[in-house]
Amino acid sequence: MQHEDAQAAPAALPETEDAARELLLGLTWPDGAKHCPRCRAKAPYQLAGGRLRCGGCRYTFHDFTGRWLNETGLSPLKWVGLAKAFAQELSTREAAAQVGISYNTAFKALTVLRLAIVAQGADAPQLLGPGAPLYPLLDAAHSEDKDFAPGTALPVYGLLSRSRHIFVDLLPELTAESVLHFNHNFHLRVARHGSILITDRYKTYDALILCGDENLPYHYLLRHPGQIFAESGGCPFWDFARPRLRQFKGLSWRRFPLYLKELALRHNLGGQALAPALLAALCTPVPKLAQ
């Protein structure tokens, strides 16, 4: 999941507004050649106030237009501070206090940051496109779950280990109903942790995992003898993720993939610096999946 430009970011993050802007500009335009975010025409010309205009479609924009970090009103230095706080695994309230912003602003910005992480994955279209779990979060006006028919349509994800890395994949062919069906009719072992269900191995996956809601009939789960692979040391990622998932308050089915993808990135980077990878993701374009 790590963005390839993350390795180019310096280990020591900037501490001034000008230096932070220069860092983010370098991640946004790594070769220094700017283009129009609308029609992709190269070499826009400069206007007053730092704005740019495309010579082709005449679109007026600025350096970070269409990028994830432009989804909030945070300055470059505050984005750097928030990336540091996120890397330290501070809570939203702690991150807000450390950066000097309101709780609501921090909550929105951290959601944008997590969406930027998700957008780097191969399954981004399935997670962010129309009708997908995270699609409403791309538009604050539709951030509630009211457009979701609860129960059997809850999405399911697969955990797949390769060497020391974990891959978290949305499995659109499966639903919570599928997991209950496998549990009842094929003796697939399932463990429950609050609203989270995790299964034994399924095909090539170490586990299937999903976040339920109050409409999911948890009481229909059958207990089968034996241990679940992921909970018997077979999936180090689950040992890493399980205690952290407990810390997310009010965990919902819709926000669940945000946290799964975040934890996969943390796990895969190991002891490496996380903040540069986060800033690199924030500087990538917001995908135009809704069109």
User: Residue 139: pLDDT band by 50, 70, 90 thresholds?
Assistant: low
- pLDDT grade for 86, boundaries at 50, 70 and 90: very high
Gyration radius of the chain over CA positions: 21
| Residue pLDDT, tens place only, 31-57 | 989 999 999 999 999 998 889 999 999
Task: Enumerate the domain spans of the chain.
Answer: 4-124+278-282, 149-253
Q: Is residue 290 scored above 90 in pLDDT? A: no
Average pLDDT over the chain, rounded to an integer = 89
135 pLDDT more than 80: yes
Q: 11 with 277: CB under 8 angstroms? A: no
What is the spatial distance between Cα 257 and Cα 246, in angstroms, rounded to a whole number?
14
Report d(CA 80, CA 101) in Å as an integer.
13
165 forms beta bridges with 162
Question: 169-204: per-residue pLDDT in tens?
Answer: 999 999 999 999 999 999 999 999 999 999 999 999
Q: CA-CA-CA-CA torsion for 139, 5, 13, 33, nearest 10 degrees?
A: -80
DSSP assignment, residue 274? S
